[in-house]
């Protein structure tokens, strides 16, 4: 085999996902997700000052956990020690003095994903047919392996031969991984979950590094990413943009380190949560020479210029980026949006699966994207 299709697909979970991230909870998502993240950050403090305790209560109120350990969207897990006291007067008080005085956390409740949506996710993977597929927002390696082994057979395709995923930094079960098939073998794996700079941990999930030996002989290094979301930040997303900038700087450093080590064929794939012309992603393009496969003359956009919910170029947030040496071997690529929902009034409509009759049946809000590499060039 002299060709390799490298793809990226944000599956938005395969079997279950946080209830607040579901399609019926849009208006609650931003405050709940922000409160969940900040609460779990605050409880790691060595000492809880009066100000910290008051802020913890504010986040519990947002999560609807002041009077109960379980709410619509979250669960307060208390394993050992006392964290709070709920008084008969209706008042709730944080009584823990710091992290060492109790063991617990807040987790988001989950709900099953539509069976049809799961099937459509498998159909997208089958129809894209990538030999090397970066997967974003997968629950765990076990579930990703189960999905490959069962659902791909269910839609008439053979499972991927290798399934790789290392848990990342996101507690919501949205990890990045890699699937390979047809004798594309992963020979080295490196995680960057512990990468830090002066501001702290860099990656929201991971920048998972996979060295893949192709049947044609050459090795390709695939960096699978899911950068900081801007969907739940403050207006203008200044905090999220700064985090994505830090992440882009580190990815660029990893790419350049790999090139210094002699690796010419490198692909950065995944959901980068910003457009190519954004300030946040500038280091990734200016410091590496990476080229977006969508620049290729034989790239098929499939009706729209975006990858998220089928919108215009402002929704182009999913990428397959290639080093110049790898781009020189590209013969084309495309966006595959058959699993993305479109309403009846959508203009310039793309094809969808016939069984996708409701938005909850969508495989994902993200289209898949891929690059075709010819190693004989």
User: What integer best gives the mean pLDDT of the chain?
Assistant: 92
CA distances (Å), 373 to each of 158, 285, 337, in order?
Answer: 22, 20, 21
User: Cα(334)–Cα(359) distance, rounded to whole angstroms?
Assistant: 23
pLDDT for residue 231 = 60
Asked whether the CA dihedral 303, 133, 203, 283 is positive or negative, the reply is: negative
Q: What is the pLDDT of residue 56?
A: 95
Rounded CA gap, 333 and 147, in Å? 25
| Length of the chain as a residue count | 377
Domain boundary among 111, 133, 161: 111
User: Do the domain assignments include residue 20?
Assistant: no
Q: Are residues 70 and 122 in the same domain?
A: no
Q: 166 and 212 share a domain?
A: yes
CB 39 within 8 A of CB 56: yes
Report residue 243 as tokens. Answer: 């985090």
Both 238 and 122 in one domain: the answer is yes
Same domain, 224 and 274: yes
Residue 276 shares a structural domain with residue 352:
yes
Is 269 a residue whose pLDDT tops 80? yes
Q: How many structural domains compose the chain?
A: 2
> What tens digit of pLDDT does each residue of 239-259 get?
889 999 999 999 999 999 999
Kindly report the CATH number assigned to the domain that includes residue 276: 3.60.10.10
- Identify the H or E element spanning 327: helix 324-327
> What are the tokens at 66?
């002041």
Domain boundary among 71, 95, 111: 111
Pairing of strands 102-108, 74-81: antiparallel
Task: Let me know if residue 94 belongs to a domain.
Answer: yes
Across residues 269-285, what is the average pLDDT? 95
Same-domain status, 172 and 45: no
Q: Nearest-CA neighbor of 365 among 298, 315, 292, 314?
A: 315
Q: For residue 31, how many C-alpha atoms fall within 13 Å in the half-sphere facing its CB?
A: 10
The mean per-residue pLDDT over the stretch 333-351 comes to 88
Same domain, residue pair 91 and 210: no
Structure confidence at residue 311 (pLDDT): 66
- In this structure, are 254 and 336 located in the same domain? yes
Identify the residue whose tokens are 């807040």: 106
Amino acid 171: pLDDT:
79
Mean pLDDT, to the nearest integer, of 128-140?
Answer: 96
State what percent of residues in the chain have pLDDT above 70.
96
Whether residue 117 contacts residue 160, with contact meaning beta carbons closer than 8 Å, is answered with no
Given a cut of 60, whether residue 25 has pLDDT beyond it is no
Note the pLDDT of residue 232: 57
Angle between helices 50-62 and 26-42 (to 10 degrees): 150
Of 79, 111, 143, which residue sits at a domain end? Answer: 111
Inter-CA distances, 190 with 119, 193, 259, Å: 31, 9, 16
Would you state the structure tokens that stand for residue 25, as one six-digit string?
Answer: 């909870």
Q: What percentage of the chain reaches a pLDDT higher than 90?
A: 77
Residue with tokens 């970066």: 134
DSSP H or E segment with residue 41? helix 26-42
- On whether the CB atoms of residues 350 and 304 are closer than 8 A, the answer is yes
Q: How many CB atoms lie within 10 A of CB 202?
A: 22
* Confidence class for position 3, pLDDT limits 50, 70, 90: very high
pLDDT tens by residue, 38-94:
898 899 999 999 999 999 999 999 999 999 999 999 999 999 999 999 998 989 999
Q: pLDDT (tens digit, 9 = 90+) per residue, 188-228?
A: 999 999 999 999 999 999 999 999 999 998 999 999 999 99
pLDDT digits (tens, 9 = 90+) for 141-182: 999 999 999 999 999 999 999 999 999 998 777 899 999 999
CA distance 268 to 230: 20
Instruction: Check pLDDT > 60 for residue 234.
Output: no
The confidence band for 236, taking pLDDT boundaries of 50, 70 and 90, is low
All residues at 6 or more sequence positions from 340 whose CB lies less than 8 Å from its CB, including other chains:
309, 310, 350, 352, 362, 363, 364, 365, 366, 367
| pLDDT value at 262 more than 60 | yes
Local structure of 7: helix, strand or coil:
strand
The winner for highest mean pLDDT among 108-122, 244-258, 341-355 is 244-258
Residue-range definition of the domain harbouring residue 269:
3-15+112-374
Are residues 251 and 154 part of one domain? yes
Residues 6+ apart with CB under 8 A from 263: 211, 219, 221
- Check whether 1 has a pLDDT greater than 80: no
For residues 104 and 126, membership in a common domain is answered with: no
Q: 78 and 117 share a domain?
A: no
**Domain shared by 295 and 191, yes or no:** yes
Look up residue 253 and give its two tokens: 């450093």
């Amino acid at each position: 085999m002299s060709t390799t299709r490298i793809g990226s697909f944000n599956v938005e979970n395969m079997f279950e996902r946080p209830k607040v991230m579901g399609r019926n909870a849009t208006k609650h998502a931003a405050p709940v997700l922000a409160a969940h993240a900040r609460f779990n950050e605050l409880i790691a403090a060595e000492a809880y000052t009066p100000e910290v305790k008051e802020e913890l209560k504010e986040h519990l109120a947002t999560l609807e956990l002041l009077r109960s350990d379980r709410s619509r969207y979250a669960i307060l897990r208390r394993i050992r020690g006392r964290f709070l006291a709920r008084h008969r007067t209706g008042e709730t008080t944080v009584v823990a003095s710091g992290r060492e005085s109790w063991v617990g956390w807040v987790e988001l409740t989950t709900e099953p994903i539509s069976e049809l949506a799961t099937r459509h996710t498998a159909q997208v993977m089958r129809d894209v047919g990538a030999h090397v597929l970066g997967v974003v927002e997968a629950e765990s390696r076990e579930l990703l392996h189960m999905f490959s082994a069962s659902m791909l057979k269910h839609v008439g395709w053979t499972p991927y031969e290798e399934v790789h995923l290392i848990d990342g930094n996101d507690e919501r079960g949205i990890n990045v991984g890699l699937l390979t098939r047809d004798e594309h073998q992963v020979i080295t794996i490196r995680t960057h979950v512990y990468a830090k700079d002066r501001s702290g941990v860099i990656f929201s999930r991971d920048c998972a590094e996979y060295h893949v030996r192709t049947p044609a002989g050459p090795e390709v290094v695939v960096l699978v990413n899911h950068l900081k979301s801007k969907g739940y930040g403050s207006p203008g997303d200044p905090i999220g943009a700064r985090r994505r900038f830090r992440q882009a700087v580190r990815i660029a450093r990893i790419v350049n380190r790999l090139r210094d080590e002699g690796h010419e064929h490198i692909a950065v794939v995944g959901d980068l949560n910003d457009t190519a012309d954004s300030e946040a992603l500038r280091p990734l393009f200016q410091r590496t020479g990476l080229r977006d496969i969508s620049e290729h003359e034989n790239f098929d956009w499939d009706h729209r210029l975006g990858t998220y919910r089928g919108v215009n170029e402002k929704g182009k947030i999913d990428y397959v980026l290639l080093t110049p040496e790898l781009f020189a071997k590209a013969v084309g690529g495309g966006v595959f949006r058959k699993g993305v929902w479109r309403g009846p009034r959508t203009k310039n409509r793309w094809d969808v699966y016939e069984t996708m009759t409701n938005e909850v049946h969508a495989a994902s809000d993200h289209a898949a994207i891929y690059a075709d590499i010819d190693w004989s060039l």
